[in-house]
Chain A
Amino acid sequence: MADSGPDTRADVGAPAAATEEGAAVSVAPLAIETREFNLWYGTFQALFDVDLKIKSGIITSMIGPSGCGKSTFLRSCNRINERLGYVRTTGTIDIMGHDVLADDVELLQVRKQIGMVFQRPNPLPLSIRDNVLFGHRIHHAGEKVSKSDEGEIVEKALRDVLLWDEVKDDLGGPATGLPLEAQQKLCIARLLPVKPAILLMDEPCSALDPKGTEAVEELIWELRGDYTILIVTHNMAQARRASDECVFMLLGKVIEHGLTEDVFLSPEDPQTSDYIEGRYG
């Protein structure tokens, strides 16, 4: 990674190019790398010395009982945690080789690279079309984008999330009026026109019924390869079905990180097997 670093940096906007770069030097490029990352909410320490290497282009799931720091970790990667105002951190988080916690980092650029899907679908109180275009318009503020270009962007994004056929006749309708499952898909769709490299998903299915969960999981699987996906879930079956690698966290510490099947079938740490077998959590 170190020697391919500068080149990867030049290509941060294109995950596919980064993958080729990585293949050339036969080192899997890292999407997210943290070193001794600690985080406090006020005086409460939520994360302890987290060292994680999340690989590009695959789906990594994060599991663990409530309050173990999965969501906190996720929300640290795009620094959305800082909205709270009483968050303090030490250590580093590198996204595509850039230290995003550095003082001179423009949050806007960081968040352009990293899309986030929240626990509850949170479409903006705008039309479906404006929701999809929201991020794109923000990152192209001041530029004139023609109506037909916008139409293409909307159609592509909605097709990518398998929502186009459902909403194509009502693009001007309010996004908040859609069923929850469609809202969550829309929340994924609005990330795509910004062309992020990484998608962070914070229990994206927890507000959905089983059918909606299945549909969104299918979608996440479709997006695999085009995006690096880090998904937090409470649902172990989901983690097992829908991820390549799996991270198990407990009380703010990373206990285990490996291929999903290894973590589930032959966990190294007894705490992991306890959790997977349902002894706590």
Chain B
Amino acid sequence: MEEKEYDSEENLEGDVATGGNNRTRLVILLLVVGLALGYMVYAAFPDNALYFMSVNEFMEKEEAQDGRIVRVSGKLVDGSFNRAENSINTSFRLIDEGTGLGGENLLASYVGVLPDLFFNPHSEIILQGSYGPGQVFEADTILVKCPSKYRSLEDELQQQSS
């Protein structure tokens, strides 16, 4: 097989006539793609490289507590969850994994319906919001991170019962 034999400058109907038009489209396309790539890299990388900070990192960083929007991740402290009856106003505490109960924790509040896996002991909770007056983290979005470990439910139940 060689070069396509019909591939001359005047190969198909319209090709020569629309050649210039296609070149403009090509340039526009490249420009759009380039801009889109640039924007995405800008949106994903500058200060979001780590994406979220731990509770301890947040507590140490004073500039993160001035009311700007930040993301903080931690584990739900057992028994810290509170919800007034018939209300969607909730409050709870987050703590870094591996820290004992005496470790630093973050009091947070959230108004809305909680994600499915919020109460799962394996989940890591990521709050997006700002540190408000009264030293409460006012979350406006709750995300849930799950461990990159997949285990069978049957095995887990067997382990618990034994």
Q: Tell me if chain B binds chain A.
A: no
